[in-house]
Amino acid sequence: MSERLKNKTAIVTGGARGLGKACAELFAQEGAAVAILDIDVARGEALAAKISATGATAMFVACDVTASADVKAAVRQVQQALGAPNVLFNNAGIAIVGGVEEISEEQWDLQYAVNVKSMFLVSREVLPLMREAGGGSIINMASESAFVGFPMHPAYCSSKAAVVHLSRSMAVRYAPEKIRVNSLCPGTINTELYQEFLSQQPDPDAIPAGAGAVASSRHRRARGHRVGCRLSRVGRVEVHDRHATVSGRRHHLPLTRGPAEPVSFVAMHRPRVHTDDQHPRSGSGTGTARSARPLAARIRRRHR
C-alpha cells in the first residue's frame, strides 16, 4: 500500500460489516488510525482487534448514529484517543423494503434517521475538528438509487437522493475551508445488507437481473471487499461539488489525498473546470477552462 493516509485519523460509521468493514480495513492498510462506529458491538470489537493485530491502529466505539448524545460522545472519544479526524466516511445505512402504501410512518422515519440524519449529526461534530486541523474529507454514502427509481424502495431511494443534495450543499459551503465533501453512488454491492434484502423477496434469484436491467445495461453486482480495495486508485478534479456513480467492472471510490485535492472516479467523465474568473454562464473572463475528456483514459494510461 502507498500509505496515503499515514498519520491521519479516519472515522467510519456503520463500519462493523459489509462495505464499511472493507473500507475500514483499507484505510488502516493505507496508514490511517481508524475509528469504527457501529451498534454491532461484537463485530465492531472483532474488527478493531483484527486490524490492530496487523500493527495498524484501530478502535471501536459503540454508537447509535441517529442519537445526538451518542454521536457527541463517540466523536469526543475518538478525538481523545486518535486525534482530530481527517476523514469521515458516513457509511451507516439501512434499506426499508415496501411500497408507499405498505410501509409504516415509523419505518419511513427510521429510514431517514439512519441514512440522512446520521450524516448531519456526525458531520456536525466532526466539521469543527477538521476546520481546526486545516481541512479534511467527508464521504457520504449515497446510491444509484438516488437517480433510478426502484418500485419497492421509495423510502430508500428518496433518502439516498437526499444524501446527494446534502453533500452538494456541504461541498460548496465548506470548500473554502479545505474540507472536501463527496457523495458515493454505487450500484448493487453484494454485502450482508443486500443478502438480507434478497431473503425478503419471494423469488430472490430473479432480483439481480431485474435490478440490473432497470439500473444500467452495464450493471454488475460487486463484492464489498473488491469495492473497498479500489479506494486508493483515483484521479483528481478541481471541483468539490461532485457525486460519483459506480457501475460495471470498475469500482473506484474516494480516498483522501491533500485537503484541497478532490477526487473523481473511473465511472465519471471529467467535467469542464473553470478558473475563479471564468464562469460558464458569465460569457466573459480571462481564465482558461480545461477541456472535458474521459477520466478513465487518463487513469488507464497512468496505471499501465
Residue by residue, what is the 3-state secondary structure of 272-283? Answer: CECCCCCCCCCC
| CA dist., res. 302 & res. 77, Å (int) | 40
Is 156 catalytic? The answer is: yes
Give the chain's length.
Answer: 304
Please give the DSSP secondary-structure letter assigned to residue 54: T
Measured between alpha carbons, how far is 181 from 171 in angstroms, rounded to an integer? 5
Q: Which positions ≥6 away from 222 have C-beta within 8 Å?
A: 186, 187, 188, 189, 190, 246, 251
The HSE-up count of residue 110 (CA atoms within 13 Å, CB side) is 10
Choice among 112, 156, 174, 194 that is catalytic: 156
Q: Which residues are catalytic?
A: 156
